A and B are shown apart, each in its own frame.
Chain A
Amino acid sequence: DSGVTQTPKHLITATGQRVTLRCSPRSGDLSVYWYQQSLDQGLQFLIQYYNGEERAKGNILERFSAQQFPDLHSELNLSSLELGDSALYFCASSVEGQGDEQYFGPGTRLTVT
């Protein structure tokens, strides 16, 4: 158990809908990262937050947004969902951010039908 929690574990929704994935980092970690793993692609970095501020942005679609709250938990919002958004979404956390070991949560499996 890495200490990173993600909810929900599974989510099934229809195209066009909007969902929110939640992540609680390990106690004391200030950085949160979001990753997407699709069937046809490897692990893709989406976005990183550090202490409430966006720090780095990867291949995150405009339909997706994220934020980190004052209690350091983070949410990833996915809207206007498409079939291709079906994937495993991981959250990870680290103490500071740059060059730090990251601890991954168990992931949220999103299925868009």
Chain B
Amino acid sequence: ILNVEQSPQSLHVQEGDSTNFTCSFPSSNFYALHWYRWETAKSPEALFVMTLNGDEKKKGRISATLNTKEGYSYLYIKGSQPEDSATYLCAFEDSDTGNQFYFGTGTSLTVIP
């Protein structure tokens, strides 16, 4: 079983603050890194799928970077809003075990108005 770690476990920020969190994954057998946004009582919603080292992706105020050589990805939220409050989950797609998915435990973000 591969280890995917996310930090911090939880985060409280003020509205308007920018924030970032980390997903660490094995640097071997990489196929893709997925980021999801998961609101309470809803289903995970795909944010990004990142496949190439050095990838940077952006969707509105949210962006992500990828370093496959050292095994980490950062998710950034610029100017946090209360509606950004959710758990942000990353998943490592492994090329060695037939493209299995290994999820981190998530970073819970609360944006205080």
- List A residues at the B interface (Cβ < 8 Å): 2, 33, 42-45, 48, 55-59, 90, 92, 97-107
Whether A45 contacts B103 in the complex (CB less than 8 A), given A55-B98, A56-B97, comes out as yes
Interchain CA distance A107-B42 in the complex, whole Å = 9
Report how many residues on chain B are interfacial, defined by Cβ distance under 8 Å.
23
Interchain CA distance A55-B101 in the complex, whole Å = 12
Extra A-B contacts (20), CB below 8 Å, given A45-B101, A92-B44, A100-B49: A2-B45, A42-B89, A42-B104, A42-B106, A43-B44, A43-B89, A43-B91, A43-B103, A45-B100, A48-B99, A56-B99, A56-B100, A57-B98, A58-B100, A98-B31, A99-B93, A101-B49, A102-B34, A105-B43, A106-B43
- List B residues at the A interface (Cβ < 8 Å): 1, 31-32, 34, 43-46, 49, 51, 89, 91, 93, 97-106
> Which residues of chain B come closer than 8 Å to A55, judged between CB atoms?
98-99
**Residue on A with the closest CB to B103?**
A43
Whether A57 contacts B93 in the complex (CB less than 8 A), given A90-B44, A99-B49, A102-B34, comes out as no
